[in-house]
Amino acid sequence: MVKYSVLKQGNHGLPSWDGLLGPVMVTAISKPRWDRRELIAAVVASIDLPDALLKKKLSDEHTGTIIDDRVSWAMSELTIAGLLNRPSRAVYEVTKLGEKLTAEHHIKLSTDIVREQFSYKTHIRELEQRRKSHSPVALDDDLTTNVDELEQIRSQIIDYNNRIATELLERIRGAEPVFFEHLVADLLTKMGYQGQDGSTIVTPPSNDGGIDGIINQDPLGTSTVYIQAKRYQASNIVQRPAIDTFFGALSRVHADRGVFITTSSFSKSAKETAKGFSIVLIDGVQLSDLMLRYHVGVQIRYHDELLKIDEDYFE
């Protein structure tokens, strides 16, 4: 057990999330696998918090405690960096890298060390790609005096959601291929591809003929979208032959439209080939952004209102 007061401190008299990196790893390494809630509880118990700090919440509306949130955030960072792994839903285990770094740094494991890992650097590159895709907010003329505050609020929301999107992508990469195929079908249905009276089919893995999903946009199936879904790690870039193979599968069913979705990315030649075949490509960053936009695999955590004076009311 380590006294919470010797850890890096944040607001509310509690350890900061990065001060909890070491305690999370030291606790996690004590047994092969952990349920998420069990690991959080064990980490909190290991730092000897007084009852008053244990119960602190951000607000009355917030269901969880501050310390649980911070432990969860530390677990997320460690998973992104490859020190923890999620072999299945809400289950955590320590990786070989995690064992090595915990042995070297123990309770003093820091963000500098965690963020030097290859997986974390890949995560940062994905975040930068997301940031570039968001244009600056357009503001009304009567809000110009609060431009800095509004832009700061929006920037913080974007950064937070970008982190959620990146964590979401990592979770998908760790899921079973069949789960990913169902996820893709759910997303395209939410996006409106299915149509009002259409249907969605995930093809059996043993007999899919190179097609992982079929969306009939009308009851008669006269307008159909065929799906290829590849759950790859970030380093496994989809190359041109995969596009050629998918096009061959489309040709066999006389299809004129297809969507190829991956959790990684596409090579330049793959993109050029897909364009010639009229195949829509969705890479990992686009996929997780779309999941946030259409609320697939995520929930709204807070819903606040940003208000302004109603000038018409005072005229």
Domain ranges of the chain: 4-116, 177-293
Q: Would the pLDDT of 292 be above 80?
A: yes
What integer pLDDT is reported at residue 201 of this predicted model?
82
CATH number of 177-293: 3.40.1350.10
Q: Would the pLDDT of 313 be above 90?
A: no
What integer pLDDT is reported at residue 145 of this predicted model?
45
**At 115, is the pLDDT very low, low, confident or very high (cuts 50, 70, 90)?**
very high
CATH fold, domain 4-116, is: Arc Repressor Mutant, subunit A (1.10.10)
**At 60, is the pLDDT very low, low, confident or very high (cuts 50, 70, 90)?**
low
pLDDT in tens, 128-157: 877 776 655 444 444 444 556 777 787 788
Rounded to whole angstroms, how far apart are CA atoms 29 and 33? 9
177-293 shares the fold of 4-116 = no
Higher confidence at residue 32 or residue 256?
A: 32
Q: What is the mean pLDDT of residues 74-84?
A: 93
Q: Would the pLDDT of 303 be above 80?
A: no
What integer pLDDT is reported at residue 256 of this predicted model?
79
Rounded to whole angstroms, how far apart are CA atoms 225 and 216? 7
- Looking at every residue in the chain, the average pLDDT score rounds to 86
What integer pLDDT is reported at residue 134 of this predicted model?
61
Q: Would the pLDDT of 54 be above 50?
A: yes
What integer pLDDT is reported at residue 144 of this predicted model?
46
Higher confidence at residue 12 or residue 261?
A: 261
Percent pLDDT > 70 in the chain is: 89
pTM value is 0.67
Q: What is the mean pLDDT of residues 220-242?
A: 87
